[in-house]
């Protein structure tokens, strides 16, 4: 049984034959085999190298997409929303299933006044990740701006079911106020204050809702609390 390693056997197979003026048919056949083996080896190594590069490139997609998302986040602000949207687009190109990239591109597009594009991206974000509370809340803001208050309330409600928050209750309360439903507005302002006791804007908004219901004493008490918080 041969104890030669595979590498030794490979080298013996391709090692050049001694140079002679006239090659026999056997020597010519051996040289042809050597060339085929060499080119086969080169081909296998090339394919393996390309395969590893492709695998590494695909495997690193989430990391590269996150880097592009972070660049976009740093550019989110007046005057640079367009640049931010471009960075989020790059993140999506790298990783098409990146829900956060659709979310933040939608927010950037909303700030650029591209509401239909924003809604499409926010829809895609929630399709990919149904727990993205910010996507539902952003859709609620867009529908509120478009005058579709009932739809806005529905979106704020979806957001609150996933994650109750001061801002979520506050925004839904304002939507109820727009519909003239001051009772539900007060209930949501109550919840907003439970989530964050030191939110003077919530007390002032609740004071207005209470005043609309004829509760002047309650409205006065809420304004006093807001004044006290702001004076600290």
Residue located via tokens 């005043």: 211
- Whether the CA torsion 109, 111, 112, 117 is positive or negative: it is positive
Contact 79, 50 (CB under 8 A): no
- Among 230, 210, 212, 229, which residue's Cα sits nearest to residue 220? 210
Residue range 89-108, pLDDT digits in tens: 999 999 999 999 999 999 99
CATH fold match for the domains 67-137 and 164-232: yes
Q: Tell me, which fold does domain 164-232 have in CATH?
A: 1.25.40
Annotated domain spans of the chain: 67-137, 164-232
CA angle 205, 131, 127 (to 5 degrees): 115
Q: Does domain 67-137 correspond to CATH entry 1.25.40.10?
A: yes
**CA dist., res. 177 & res. 213, Å (int):** 11
Residue range 166-216, pLDDT digits in tens: 999 999 999 999 999 999 999 999 999 999 999 999 999 999 999 999 999
Q: Is 95 helix (H, G, I), strand (E, B) or coil?
A: coil
Residue located via tokens 């996933």: 162
Contact 72, 84 (CB under 8 A): yes
pLDDT at 232: 87
In the predicted model, is pLDDT for residue 159 greater than 60? Answer: yes
């Amino acid at each position: 049984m041969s104890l030669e390693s595979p590498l030794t056997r490979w080298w013996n197979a391709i090692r050049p034959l001694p140079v002679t003026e006239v090659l026999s048919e056997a020597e010519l056949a051996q040289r042809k085999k050597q060339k085929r083996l060499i080119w086969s080896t080169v081909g296998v190594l090339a394919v393996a190298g390309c395969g590893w590069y492709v695998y590494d490139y695909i495997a690193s997609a989430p990391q590269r997409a996150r880097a592009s998302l972070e660049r976009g986040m740093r550019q989110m602000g007046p005057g640079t929303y367009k640049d931010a949207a471009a960075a989020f687009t790059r993140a999506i190109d790298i990783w098409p299933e990146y829900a956060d990239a659709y979310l933040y591109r939608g927010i950037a597009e909303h700030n650029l006044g591209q509401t239909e594009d924003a809604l499409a991206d926010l829809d895609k974000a929630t399709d990919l990740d149904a727990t993205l509370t910010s996507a539902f809340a952003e859709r609620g803001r867009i529908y509120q701006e478009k005058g579709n208050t009932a739809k806005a309330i529905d979106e704020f409600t979806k957001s609150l079911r996933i994650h109750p928050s001061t801002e979520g209750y506050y925004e839904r309360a304002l939507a109820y106020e727009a519909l003239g439903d001051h009772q539900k507005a007060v209930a949501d302002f109550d919840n907003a204050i439970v989530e964050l006791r030191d939110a003077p804007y919530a007390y002032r908004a609740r004071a207005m809702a209470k005043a609309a219901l004829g509760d002047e004493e309650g409205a006065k008490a809420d304004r006093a609390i807001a004044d006290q918080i702001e004076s600290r």
